[in-house]
Chain A
Amino acid sequence: MSKRVPINRLSKFFGDKDFNLELEMGQEWLYGDMNFTLVLYQVDQSKTKKSNVYGEVEEDGIVYKTPVEFKGFVKVLEPQNENLGNTKLRNLEPGNIQISVYISELEELGVDIKYGDYIGYYETESRVRYYTVVNDGKVTSDNKHTYGGVYPFYRTVIASPVKDNEFRGN
């Protein structure tokens, strides 16, 4: 068993009970009021057939574990109307998605969001957009993610949209 050290930061003003209360209130707001649902597709590295040289996967070649629904606070950034590379080919690039997810939620579901995993977000009943995780937010040492420096309690995951030929949930 690993060594455990009691955390007594701010305990005079903000103890475990306060922390848990705040957490529950936040979850109530997120799950009850906001209710943003996402689907996590964890890439199964052992089953996905990759190129030996480049590690690339052919179209529809990504094998993922059973998709898992999870809740999070979603912020989709604005699309950018831009040229493709240095060309005159206009492309309306969808914005990244920023997901704030409780660490406890992931622990309860028994999943982890890793760099390269895919996330599906239903924009309408029939239209889903897939994103790939470009920042899994595993470093949660900053004050924002630790509720004033007490405990880390959520992660901010950033994912970029992907094209159909990379991943489409098939």
Chain B
Amino acid sequence: MGFPKKIKKDIKLTQDKILYERREELVDFIKEDGTYLPKSILHEDLDLGMLEFVKNELGTVVSGKKIPTVDLIITTQNWAQFAETWNFTDLDENINPPFVATVRNPDVKFGTNPALRYNIPNKKMFYYAKVPTWDGNRKGMDIYKIPQPVPVDITFNVKIFCNRMTELNAFNKTVISKFASRQAYTFIKGHYIPIILENISDESVLDLEKRKYYVQDYTLTMLGFLIDEKEFEVYPAISRILQVVEVVPPKRKRQKFVVPDLRDTDFSFSFLNGLTSLSQKFDFNSDITFNDLINVESYYVYINNEYFAENPPIVFVNNGDVMTVDIRKVNDGEDSQILVTSKLI
């Protein structure tokens, strides 16, 4: 009889990490016991991931006994050696049912995982990490680049061999429950790899005058990807820039002293339609005299962004000062102009 739902059989002392912390945790998994780079994921790793998945996630207990799982991908060569070391054999050293075996189809196809299917051609290398270095004298950085992983679809046939329908039912329930959401995941070197249940078929041997046993085949497709660390690139980043500039001293004649032209200079502030403020920087000391106003009702003068006066007739500016003139137009729809005279001091 099951426990009521409110009774907790175990209490987690530490909470599972979520969101950003969880992502950091996953990166730690990827980098665990290694370099800053992710570890290779090749066919063998994916196969091992599937074996772990079958063993841990599809484990089934019938009448108090766990259905043993062949923890080896069945290939053409290894069965004889494996069968000798298997604990569940009969007097002919044939493997005793019930058991679950995993067979991998030799053909590995280009992946259909949409996250990886469309990519930049020619295996472009992507920035992965910047790793600090120290050569004993100076600090530097190494740039780590990796190519985009290559998607692969690997088809596995997980088969249960048994001679009782109850065992078949129990295993079927486990698999169907696991794949109730179409896909399940296995965890390979920090990466979650999806597995899809494609098909269930029956290969039972039910000949009248032979030993009868059930064989049920679950076709699973692993949407994996390949990362080969041999393809990674590590190269030093720029650690110090040495700029060499060659200077040829010019042989210039001494410039003649130019006497500034102290004559008055006329110029204007032209406020086009929609413009009510203008600034002018002066590179000399001078007196600015406001002469004529065209379409200007009043004007306000700011020196270096500080308010100076309203409608001043004359303003003294120093070398480097910025004079700003704000105006209020008589007719807003027309251009305005202020004619001024600058007299150098």
Contacts and interface: CB of A to CB of B under 8 A. Distances in A.
Interface stretch (A65-73, A145-153, A156-164): A156-164
Given A93-B94, A127-B91, A163-B211, A85 B163 contact: no
B74 A88 contact: yes
Nearest to A90: B79
A165 B98 contact: yes
A85 B208 contact: no
B96 A165 contact: yes
A56 B213 CA distance: 13
A87 B96 contact: no
Interface residues of B, number: 36
A46 interface: no
B135 interface: no
What 3 pairs between A and B have smallest CB-CB spacing? A85-B215, A85-B203, A86-B203
A90 to B, nearest CB: 5
A87 B74 contact: yes
A96 B92 contact: no
A84 B161 contact: yes
A89 B79 contact: yes
Nearest to A59: B63
A160 B211 contact: yes
Given A58-B63, A89-B79, A162 B211 contact: yes
Given A85-B215, A134-B209, A165 B101 contact: no
B91 A129 contact: yes
Interface in B50-92: 63, 74-76, 79-80, 83, 90-92
18 contacts: A54-B164, A56-B165, A56-B166, A85-B205, A86-B203, A86-B215, A88-B74, A88-B76, A88-B103, A89-B74, A90-B83, A92-B93, A92-B94, A93-B94, A93-B210, A134-B210, A165-B96, A165-B98
Contacts of A58: 63
A94 interface: yes
Given A87-B74, A90-B83, A163-B211, 4 more contacts: A84-B95, A85-B161, A86-B203, A91-B95
Contact of B96 (A86, A93, A160, A163): A163
Nearest to B161: A84
A115 B186 CA distance: 47
A135 interface: yes
Interface string B189-223: 00000000000000111001111110101000000
B94 A165 contact: no
Q: How large is the interface on A (under 10, 10 to 19, 20 to 34, 35 or more residues)?
A: 20 to 34
B74 to A, nearest CB: 5
Nearest to A134: B209
A59 B67 CA distance: 13
A94 B92 CA distance: 8
Contact of A163 (B76, B90, B165): B90
Interface in A106-159: 127, 129, 134-135, 158
Interface in A50-104: 51, 54, 56, 58-59, 79, 84-94, 96
Contacts of B210: 93, 96, 134, 160
A166 interface: yes
A89 B93 CA distance: 13
Interface of B: 63, 74-76, 79-80, 83, 90-98, 101, 103, 157, 159, 161, 163-166, 203-205, 208-213, 215, 217
A51 B63 CA distance: 12
B97 A165 contact: yes
A104 B6 CA distance: 69
A14 to B, nearest CB: 33
A134 B208 contact: yes
Contacts of A87: 74, 101, 103, 157, 159, 203, 215
A93 B101 contact: no
Contacts of A94: 92
Nearest to B208: A134
Contact of B94 (A59, A91, A127, A135): A91
B206 to A, nearest CB: 11
A51 B211 CA distance: 20
Nearest to B167: A56
Nearest to B74: A88
Contacts of A163: 90, 96-97, 163, 211
A162 to B, nearest CB: 7
A54 B74 contact: no
A49 to B, nearest CB: 12
Contacts of A129: 91
